[in-house]
Amino acid sequence: MTNGEPETDIGDARAFDEGEQFRALVQSVHDYAIFMLDADGYVASWNPGAERIKGYKAGEIIGQHFSRFYTEEDRANGEPARALATAGNEGKFEKEVWRCRKDGSRFWASVVIDPIRDDDGTVIGFAKITRDITERRDAQQELERAREALAQAQKMEAVGRLTGGVAHDFNNLLTVIRASVDMLRRPGLAAEKRERYLSAISDTADRASLLTGQLLVFARRQPLHNERFAIAPRVERMRQILATTLGSPIRLILDLAEDSGTVFSDPTQFETAILNMAINARDAMPSGGQLRISARRVEGAPTAAGQVREGPFVAVAVEDNGIGIDDETQARMFEPFFTTKAIGKGTGLGLSQVYGFVKTSEGEVTVQSSLGEGARFTLYLPLVGEEAGPDAGSDEEADRAATPIARQRILLVEDNEEVGTFASGLLGELGQDVVWAHNAVEALAALDADEGAFDLVFSDVVMPGDNGVLLAQEVRRRWPALRVVLTSGYSHVLAEEGSHGFELLRKPYSVDSLVAMIAGRSRRSA
């Protein structure tokens, strides 16, 4: 004792050798099962944490093989021996796996096994640490379920916006068709007005076709059909549908250079992109304004990264003098489902279709806009050689389609009653002999019964049983000289597998395209 205070006996503190200190540390741990195994896997020590987690007292488990902690199926698969071998050979075994308690219940465990070696490096035992992480696993699974539920809710919200916008767009189209039909039924309607309403129905059908094509491309159910086409005449032929879409308060100006060039892309998707940008511009000019669409040949195209791609391009610009676009909206406007319009007023797919079309065409798209200053969208599409024939949408094709066609016997294969009735009647009006089969089985039976009597098989793709592609392949195998044309408006078969070289007429088809098909001028798809 010094100055009346007890002295600390340093020797007592040092009396705990390292082994005793470690044993005391291990015995104080209750959240981890920490114990030793001999070289053969028998339990050599046990701590309170092991008793709490596994349910065995030290006297019950020391001397027992550690494999009793494994599930029955893991023991049958040799997992205990494999774990010790891995620890001995690789220096550690670590895994998250099911383990068993004394009462037979299971828990999700984090297991680590380390080898213990003597001075010669020989394995003389193993140190094993096990932690019960069942609660953590359950929490992770609950979090994942919550994330999935949130993703599903967001998906349903997006689908709600999509369906609301699609319903809005189609209701507008149906309104035009319904009203035009009602007017056409009025007696004494002037020829000029009759032609106007017929044109309105035709234009509206074109717009509906573009809308469904946009949806199918987004859903990856519409195969792309690239071909060479000249930009200027393609945009010019859209003049009427653009004017109808924009309405009278908006002045449409087409400024198309004759030498704007030819591209290799999907013309339908090009038209859809132009129409989508025009609709976007229209909505930015609620009180009216001016929309200018221009096309010019340029050298080089600016990229989103601020660089310039070399080469000849056609720059197709759609420019309005509307309310403009703020920076925040510009950063997101090409995202699918993103829209600033009220619910039910837009699908949020228009500009995402524009972006997707440009990228699949190996082009670029830029936007110049600020609030109150209007907006300018520019598509840069790479030019190709000029050796292409007439534009696919030119008047020359329509003239060819109007040429009288030879009478043929056509096997129509269509499962839909309304479409089948209409198509067979239409083919009959065009002077063709038609036999209608409702599915592939009926079609093959008709061919077997009257072999050599048909000039053409015209088949839908989506049908119960064998689809149109399978039917066409069977026809090709058995009657290789018989011509087959497929038709479809929606087909995962075509999107995923292609049309296997058969001719394809896409729905909705016009009378002109049907005539061209009969005459042997429909598109052959690779």
CATH code for the domain of 124: 3.30.450.20
The domain boundary, picked from 69, 104, 132, lies at 132
In a domain, 195, yes or no: no
Res 218 pLDDT > 70: no
Q: Answer whether 260's CB lies under 8 Å from 295's CB.
A: yes
Q: Do 290 and 271 have their domain in common?
A: yes
Q: Region 412-436: what's the mean pLDDT? A: 89
The domain boundary, picked from 351, 384, 417, lies at 384
**Residue holding tokens 């025009």?**
278
Comparing 391 with 407, the larger pLDDT belongs to 407
Model confidence at 392, pLDDT cuts 50, 70, 90, reads: very low
Q: Do 359 and 399 have their domain in common?
A: no
Comparing 251 with 214, the larger pLDDT belongs to 251
Q: What is the structure's pLDDT at 468?
A: 87
Res 388 pLDDT > 60: no
Question: Based on the number of CB atoms within 10 Å of its own CB, is 386 exposed (0-12), middle (13-18) or buried (19 or more)?
Answer: exposed
Domain of 488, CATH number, reads 3.40.50.2300
Q: Answer whether 269's CB lies under 8 Å from 357's CB.
A: yes
In a domain, 177, yes or no: no
Res 492 pLDDT > 80: no
Which whole-number Å values give the CA distances from 79 to 83, 95, 474, 514, in the listed order?
6, 11, 53, 68
Res 435 pLDDT > 80: yes
Q: Do 78 and 58 have their domain in common?
A: yes
Q: What is the largest CA-CA distance in the chain?
A: 128
In a domain, 90, yes or no: yes
Q: Do 368 and 406 have their domain in common?
A: no
Verdict on whether the full-model pTM lies above 0.75: no
Comparing 57 with 344, the larger pLDDT belongs to 57
Model confidence at 305, pLDDT cuts 50, 70, 90, reads: confident
Q: Do 404 and 464 have their domain in common?
A: yes
Query: pLDDT exceeding 90 applies to what percent of the chain?
Result: 38
Q: Region 238-255: what's the mean pLDDT? A: 85
Tell whether omega for the bond before 508 is within 30 degrees of 0, i.e. cis.
Answer: yes
In a domain, 305, yes or no: yes
Q: Do 469 and 399 have their domain in common?
A: yes
In a domain, 192, yes or no: no
Res 393 pLDDT > 50: no
The domain boundary, picked from 327, 360, 384, lies at 384
Res 313 pLDDT > 80: yes
Q: Do 372 and 510 have their domain in common?
A: no
Q: What is the structure's pLDDT at 268?
A: 81
Max avg pLDDT among 89-103, 279-293, 315-329: 89-103
In a domain, 208, yes or no: no
CA distance 45 to 63: 9
Q: Do 329 and 446 have their domain in common?
A: no
Number of domains comprising the chain: 3
Q: Do 437 and 312 have their domain in common?
A: no
Q: What is the structure's pLDDT at 523?
A: 44
Max avg pLDDT among 205-219, 372-386, 508-522: 372-386
Q: Do 429 and 329 have their domain in common?
A: no
Following DSSP, what letter does each residue of 440-504 receive, concatenated? HHHHHHHHHHTTT--SEEEEES--SSS-HHHHHHHHHHH-TTSEEEEEESS-HHHHHH--TT-EE
Q: What is the structure's pLDDT at 297?
A: 94
Least confident of 112-121, 402-411, 416-425: 402-411
Domain of 325, CATH number, reads 3.30.565.10
Res 162 pLDDT > 70: no
Q: Do 231 and 259 have their domain in common?
A: yes
Q: Which amino acid is at 374?
A: G
Domain range for residue 303? 226-384
In a domain, 32, yes or no: yes
Q: What is the structure's pLDDT at 20?
A: 73
Q: Do 512 and 402 have their domain in common?
A: yes
Max avg pLDDT among 30-44, 192-206, 371-385: 30-44
**Residue count (the chain):** 526
In a domain, 154, yes or no: no
Q: What is the structure's pLDDT at 161?
A: 58
